[in-house]
Amino acid sequence: METLALRRSRKTPMEDDFPDQVSELLAFLEDGFPGGHPFGRVKAMPAPAPGDEYRGPEVWMLGSSMWSSAAAVEFGLPYSFAHFFSPMKTQDAIEAYIRHFRPGIRREKPEVTVAVGVVCAETQEEAEYLASSVKLLQRRIRLGDRKPVAAPEDALRELRMMGEMAMEEGEWPRYFVGTPAVVKERLEQMAGVLGIGELIVNTIVWDQQKRVRSYELLAEAFRLRNAA
Q: Sketch the domain layout of the chain as residue ranges.
A: 1-57, 61-228
Check residue 167 and give its pLDDT: 60
The C-alpha atoms of residue 219 and residue 199 are separated, in whole angstroms, by: 12
Please say whether the beta carbons of 110 and 98 come within 8 A.
yes
Please state the length of the chain.
228
Task: State pTM to two decimals.
Answer: 0.82
Fold assignment, 61-228: TIM Barrel (3.20.20)
Instruction: Express each pLDDT in 180-207 by its tens digit.
Output: 999 999 999 999 999 999 999 999 999 9
Check residue 40 and give its pLDDT: 83
The partner residues of 117 in beta bridges, in order of sequence, read: 175, 202
Please say whether the beta carbons of 112 and 105 come within 8 A.
no
Check residue 48 and give its pLDDT: 63
Please say whether the beta carbons of 135 and 165 come within 8 A.
no
- Alpha carbon 223 to its chain centroid, in Å, reads 23
Closest CA to 59 of 37, 38, 44, 76: 76
Which residues fall within 8 angstroms of residue 177, CB to CB, at 6 or more apart?
Answer: 118, 119, 127, 128, 131, 183
Instruction: Express each pLDDT in 31-66 by its tens digit.
Output: 778 888 888 888 877 766 666 665 668 899 999 999
Whether omega before 48 lies within 30 degrees of 0, making that bond cis, reads: no
Residues of the chain below pLDDT 70: 8-15, 47-56, 164-168, 225-228
